[in-house]
Each structure stands twice: as C-alpha cells, then as structure tokens.
Amino acid sequence: MQLENKVALVTGAGSGIGAAGARAMAREGAYVFVTDRDAASARAVSQSIAAEGYAAEALQLDVTDDQALIDAINWAALTKGRLDILHSHAGLQVEGKLEDVAVADMDASWALNVRAHFVAAQAAIAPMRAQGGGSVIITSSNSGVQYDREMIAYATTKHAVLAMTRQMAADYAKENIRFNSLCPGFIDTPFNRGFEIQMGGRHKLDEYVETTIPMGRFGTVDEIAGGIVFLASDQSAFMTGHALVIDGGESI
C-alpha cells in the first residue's frame, strides 16, 4: 500500500472528485478525514470506505469558516498524531463574463477557490513541519492553464491557485513540505453545472466534449483519483510546484 500509516484530510469530499480521492487514498492505506459542508454526504462517503474495510472519519466542515477549517486540520493532526496529506479540494464554479458576474459572486469564488486553500495550507504547515514533511494537494482546474470563454470568476481564481501553490512550493521545499496543484478537465459530475449554463445546456456541453477534447470523452472521477494518490504518495517525492493536468488533451 502506497499510503500505509499516512493520515489525510480532504475538503469537499462528500461527492465527485473529492469523494473518489478519499476512497482511493483509504484503499492505499491512509486514514482519511472526509470533510464536507454537507454532513450527511461526508458521513456516507466515510461509511462506504469503512464498509470496504478501510479507515475513515467524517467531519462536517464549511471551508469558508476560517476557524472551523483550522480547527478541523488541527483536530486531525492531534487525534492521529500526524498529518501527511492535505487535499484542499472544495470549490465553486460561477459562470459568466465580466458584465454578467456580480461582485458578490466574484468574492464567493475567491473565498472558496483561493482563500480557503490558503487558510487550509497555512494550518497544515505546523504538523507537517513537526513530522519532517508532507504533501499538500490543492485543486485548481485545467481552467488554470488556459482560458474559458465567459467564465471570468472561475478562470481567474483557478489561475490564482496555481500561482499561490507554486509560491508555497518554493518557500517550503527545503522542509520537505510539497505543494502541487491538481488540474482536472471535464469530469462528468454535477460540478459542471456552471459550464452547462454557459454553453447553453447539457447537450451543448456533450457536443463540446465529443468534438473539442482530443480524447472525445469526459474523464472519470477514478481517473482523477489516481492522480491524487500519485501526488499524495512517495511516487511524487521529487515533485513540488507542479500543475498536474488530467484533461484528455483539452488544454494542448
């Protein structure tokens, strides 16, 4: 097992990529704290992991509450004696070009897609430093390495995540605390609702995927989960400041 005796905490893990990553890390031996704003969703994922014979614990967490986020990370490190992996995943997708996006929606995008990752990463430094290192994975998007038409709030914040992750990677590399960004493309989950609206409906999104993405299909959450395990494990021990793009070639 690649993550045996490791402790991981995942935000936004109640569904989609977050849930798949939590399950994948648990299957590789990690004790996973499954956190989500929806307590029932976090509990369902945790219970499904336990049902397979692996170890997980559910926590209700709204990552826009700074103190709650800090407390959850401190709790995980305190109760298990360490924190090896933080996957800061929770995010928000707001569609629209400059004239269409309210300032409040831009602020909400920043709060979830950038600020919460900053707060989470900051809280993880102390336990990771004390144990001699760790892996912080921050979810950006392939929208962070390209520009999506009429998605100013999403693309702007996802680009910002990459810059922030690289800066943190440079600052903490000598302490063996690694920071990498996960950049998924179109994965068939409800999170794509913003793109569906922007493109004019599900049929338009399907048409885009089939005709524009070189591989001609959506990715699966399990395909992204494999990348999460890679970034969490010693397979990527010499990798920091990297944007791992998994998008079927869309951003080529």
Tell me the per-residue pLDDT of 229-248, one tens digit each, with 9 for 90 and over.
999 999 999 999 999 999 99
What pLDDT is stored for residue 186 in this prediction? 87
- Position 201 pLDDT exceeds 90: no
CB contact set of 48 (below 8 Å; sequence gap of 6+): 23
What pLDDT is stored for residue 207 in this prediction? 83
Q: Report whether 48 contacts 23 (CB < 8 A).
A: yes
What integer is the mean pLDDT of 140-161? 93
- pLDDT category, 191, cuts 50, 70, 90? low
- pLDDT category, 187, cuts 50, 70, 90? confident
The reply to whether 154 belongs to the active site is yes
- Position 163 pLDDT exceeds 90: yes
Among the listed residues 31, 54, 147, 154, the single catalytic one is: 154
Q: Which CATH class is domain 7-246?
A: alpha beta
- pLDDT category, 199, cuts 50, 70, 90? low
